[in-house]
Amino acid sequence: SAVLRHLRGAGPCTARQLREALPELTGTYDPAPGKAYGGEGHPAPRVLTVLSARGEIVRGPNDGGWTTSRPRWAAAGQWLPPADP
């Protein structure tokens, strides 16, 4: 995935930094065209959520204050220590 390659090379990045570096994360899409529950959405949050659920990326340091969530995303293998077998 382009996101993983970028994070491995650049280190932890915010969603904004990822969108600026990877044009495929910009724009909008409709996940359910023609449906009442559909509508335009941005791909970056969905991509980051899926990669996180798969255990490939993690939320790293927070660039916001303690009341603001502005996480930098990191490749899991670079951020977390290896698990004991």
Residues 6/22, Cβ–Cβ less than 8 Å: yes
Please give the DSSP secondary-structure letter assigned to residue 62. Answer: E
pLDDT tens-digit readout, 36-76: 888 898 999 999 999 999 999 999 999 988 899 899 999 99
> Residue 85: pLDDT above 70?
no
Global pTM? 0.84
The structural domains of the chain, ordered by start, are 2-79 (1.10.10)
Q: How far is CA 26 from CA 7, 47, 59, 80, in A?
A: 17, 11, 20, 28
